[in-house]
């Protein structure tokens, strides 16, 4: 697993209070990991802070799974 994926996983475990084993690439924040809309916003903000980038709202709305977050970050983190 990439360094980015490791960090993303750790943030999700911390913020959503879920087990590491639940955080699979296919897992949806809302359907599988129990996040509500505010949790999702908070996760995006944590990614922005951790990786020092800004994720525009229209792109943030496309990030609904762990895998989508990792792909986005791997493509955009410099």
Partner 1 sequence: MNLRRVVVTGIGALTPIGNNSDDFRKALATGVSGAAPITHFDASLFKTQFACEVKNFDVQDYIDRKEARKMDPFTQYAMVTVEEAMNDSGLDLDKINLARAGVIWGSGIGGLKTFQDEVTGFATGNGEPRFNPFFIPKMIADISAGFISIKYGFRGPNFVTVSACASATNALIDAFNYIRLGKADIFISGGSEAAVTEAGIGGFNAMKALSQRNDSPETASRPFDKDRDGFVLGEGAGALILEEYEHAVARGAKIYAEIVGGGMSADAYHMTAPHPEGLGASSVMTLALEDAGLDPEAIDYINVHGTSTPLGDVSETKAIQKVFGAHAYKLNISSTKSMTGHLLGAAGAIEALACIFALQDGIVPPTINHFTDDENLDPDLNLTFNKAQQRDLNYALSNTFGFGGHNCSVIFKKHI
Task: Catalog residues that contact partner 1 under the rule CB under 8 A.
Answer: 15-17, 38, 41-42, 45, 48
Q: Is 36 a residue of the active site?
A: yes
Report, in Å, the least distance between residue 38 CB and partner 1.
4
Cα separations in angstroms, 24 against 6, 7, 32, 76:
11, 13, 10, 21
User: Please, what is the Cα angle at 43 between 8 and 35, to 5 degrees?
Assistant: 105
Active-site option among 14, 32, 36, 58:
36
- Residue with Cβ nearer partner 1 (8 or 12): 12
What CA–CA distance (Å, rounded) separates 72 from 57? 13
Report, in Å, the least distance between residue 55 CB and partner 1.
12
As annotated, the active-site residues are 36
């Amino acid at each position: 697993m990439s360094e980015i994926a490791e960090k993303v996983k750790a943030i999700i475990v911390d913020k959503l209070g879920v087990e590491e084993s639940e955080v699979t690439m296919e897992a949806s924040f809302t359907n599988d990991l129990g996040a509500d809309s505010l949790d999702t916003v908070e996760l995006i903000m944590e990614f922005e802070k951790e990786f020092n980038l800004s994720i525009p709202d229209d792109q943030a709305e496309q990030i609904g799974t762990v895998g989508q977050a990792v792909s986005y970050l791997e493509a955009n983190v410099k």
